[in-house]
Amino acid sequence: MVFASFRRYFSMRQQSSKVQALYDHCNDIFTPSGTPPPSSQALHKLSSILDTVQPADVGLKEETADDDRGHGFFGIGQLNRVDRWAQPITYVDIHECDSFTIHLAQMCIFCFPTSSVIPLHDHPGMTVFSKLLYGSLHVKAYDWVEPPCIVESKEPGYARVRLAKLAVDKVLTAPCETSVLYPKEGGNLHCFTAVTPCAVLDILSPPYREDAGRICTFYHDYPFSTFATGGNGPKMCDGKEDEYAWLAEAEMPSDFYMRQGVYSGPAIQI
C-alpha cells in the first residue's frame, strides 16, 4: 500500500516536472521586450523539453484514430467550408498569469477533431513552438518574400496580394520532433488541418497582444499563376512557381470557432 502510494506520488512528480520545466525555462529565457532574444542554445533546450512531453503530462487522453466526428483528411476537398469547420476545436490554456501570459509567453493546447481546420494566419514578431502530442496533422506554412513583392489586384473580389514562399507542406504524425517558427522564417504563416483526431501544445513568445501590434491576421492563399506580374515578378520564381503563392488578408471565417476547455494537467508552481 505504501509502495503504491509512493509510485503514484512519483508519477505525479514526473508529470509535474515536465510542465513545470517548460514554465521555468520560458521564465528564464523570454523577456517582455523580446530583447535580447534567447540564445540558440536556450531555444534548443526548450524544444528538447517539449520533445519529451506526452499527452498524459498535460492531462490529455489520446482520442481514437477512427473518430467519426469528421470526414477524413483525404475527403476534405469534397466538403464545403461549413463541413470542414463545423466541428469545434477545443482551446486550453495551461497557465494564466498576467506577468507571464501577457508579457512573456502563452502555453496552450489545441485539440482537433478529424478534418477540423485552423485557417492560414500569421504570428507577427513571434516565435512559436508546436509539439504534436498525438494523431496526425497537415501543416502548410509560408514565409514572406523579402523585399516585399506586392500586387494591387484589379480583379473584382480580390484585395492587394503579397508574395510568400512555401516553407512547409507535409503531414506530421506523433511522435515527432517539435516544430519551431520564427518571425521571418520557418513558416510564420501557417494553416493546420487535422488528418486524424490530434492535439498540439503551443508555446508562443511573445504572445499575441493588440496594443503591442501583435494581432492575428488571417489570409487566403492563391497560386502564383493567379496574378500576372507583367514580367516584373521576382526572378527567384522562374521555374519554381509551385513554391510560391500570393496571400491576401481575409476576415476570420464566420463559421470558424473554438470552444474553451479546462486544463486538467499538473498545476504550475510560480
The answer to whether position 46 is within a domain reads no
Which residue stretches of 30-155 are H helix?
40-51, 81-85
User: What does the alpha-carbon distance between residue 197 and residue 115 come to, in Å, rounded to a whole number?
Assistant: 8
The answer to whether position 78 is within a domain reads yes
Which grid coordinates belong to 133? 502530442
The answer to whether position 168 is within a domain reads yes
The answer to whether position 269 is within a domain reads no
Which grid coordinates belong to 17? 516536472
pTM to 2 decimal places: 0.83
**How far is the CA of 98 from the CAs of 16, 94, 112, 138, 267, in angstroms?**
21, 13, 27, 33, 16
Task: Tell me the helices (H) and strands (E) count for the chain, helix number first.
Answer: 3, 13
pLDDT reported for residue 151: 87
Interval 61-103: pLDDT, tens? 876 444 444 433 334 444 444 444 456 899 999 988 878 887 8
Domain count, the chain: 1
pLDDT reported for residue 28: 93
CATH number at residue 109: 2.60.120.10
**134 burial level (CB within 10 Å; 0-12, 13-18, 19+):** buried
Mean pLDDT of the chain: 83
The answer to whether position 17 is within a domain reads no
pLDDT average, residue stretch 184-211: 96
Per-residue DSSP letter, 235? G
Interval 217-243: pLDDT, tens? 999 999 998 886 655 555 556 668 889
What range defines the domain where residue 229 resides?
Answer: 63-260
The answer to whether position 24 is within a domain reads no
* Placement of cell 499527452 in the chain: 55
User: What does the alpha-carbon distance between residue 112 and residue 94 come to, in Å, rounded to a whole number?
Assistant: 17
Of the listed ranges 2-6, 28-32, 114-118, 258-262, the one predicted with least confidence:
2-6
Residue 247: its H or E element: strand 244-250
pLDDT average, residue stretch 119-145: 97
pLDDT reported for residue 5: 40
The answer to whether position 37 is within a domain reads no
